[in-house]
Amino acid sequence: GVIGARIYHVIHLWDFYSANPLVIPQIWNGGIGIPGALAGGVVGIFLYTRSKGINTARWLDIFAPAALLGQVIGRLGNFVNQELYGPPTSLCGVDFPPCLPFGVQIGADHRAGTPWDAVTYPVETTTFVPLFAYEMVLNFIGLVVLLFVIRRFGPRLFAGDAALIYIMWYGAVRTLLETYRVNNWTILGIPTAMWVGIIGFVLAGAWLMYRHRRGWGSPMIKPAEDRRADSSAAPQPHPEASAG
């Protein structure tokens, strides 16, 4: 995941990193991206499960809620670093975008590359849309929803469905928030993360519906009778093995 996150960042700033290749491994200086981390994590899970001969889809289902929880916690770092924010806003949302409940102050040294200089927008009186906070809340809601779906509909789901639902949820969240974000990396004038979010949402949603219509996939949660059968079929230790 860390490798994928770094590669995602390096690709977007290739002009700089191609001229300074020794800086590429210096991840402690910052520069990672969640889409790359997710892609790297999926590749890592695939390679591990294939090498062990275990079900990849079920491990991706385990990964999905863990990823959401990790993103909720990780966004606290954006608050500390004063990053991942939107345009100026007021308490009642008089400025654009409207009706956002609160804003955060951003220091002048963290506004590089934005149109909001500290002279026109004084640090003491200007607050910005805290996109990191909204993503934290939305991802926490997504975590609750995902766990509810697994618990409520688990026997009707296929292995891998939780991962697909996660991709759809985060794709929608990231696409929404990217419309407010500043200093976006873009492709054809559209934020890269928005491309990733839209494509991920569409592909995951389409595959989720298609596989259920076709009945393709193994159950996410085995019926109770199957689990009991698996347990009874497992080799039992010899009574003398525990004597001691």
Per-residue pLDDT reduced to its tens digit, 165-214? 999 999 999 999 988 887 777 888 888 889 999 999 999 999 999 999 99
Query: Which structural domain, as residue segments, surrounds residue 47?
Result: 2-86+130-222
Q: What is the pLDDT of residue 158?
A: 94
Q: Are residues 28 and 140 in the same domain?
A: yes
Q: Are residues 95 and 212 in the same domain?
A: no
Q: How many domains does the chain have?
A: 2
Inside any domain, residue 54:
yes
Inside any domain, residue 77:
yes
Q: Are residues 76 and 97 in the same domain?
A: no
Inside any domain, residue 238:
no
**φ, ψ for residue 89 (rounded to 5)?**
-145, 165
Q: Are residues 91 and 147 in the same domain?
A: no
Last residue of a domain, one of 103, 128, 153: 128
Q: Are residues 62 and 157 in the same domain?
A: yes
Q: Are residues 61 and 124 in the same domain?
A: no
Inside any domain, residue 97:
yes
Which residues in the chain land under pLDDT 50?
Answer: 92-96, 98, 225-234, 238-244
Q: Are residues 50 and 142 in the same domain?
A: yes
Q: What is the pLDDT of residue 188?
A: 87
Closest CA to 141 of 185, 186, 107, 176: 176
Q: Are residues 112 and 203 in the same domain?
A: no
Q: Are residues 149 and 199 in the same domain?
A: yes
Inside any domain, residue 117:
yes
Q: What is the pLDDT of residue 113?
A: 60
Closest CA to 95 of 118, 122, 129, 123: 129
Q: What is the pLDDT of residue 191?
A: 87
Q: Are residues 105 and 144 in the same domain?
A: no
Q: Are residues 122 and 199 in the same domain?
A: no
Q: How far is CA 56 from CA 3, 12, 150, in A?
A: 20, 30, 17
**φ, ψ for residue 181 (rounded to 5)?**
-75, 150
Q: Are residues 8 and 110 in the same domain?
A: no
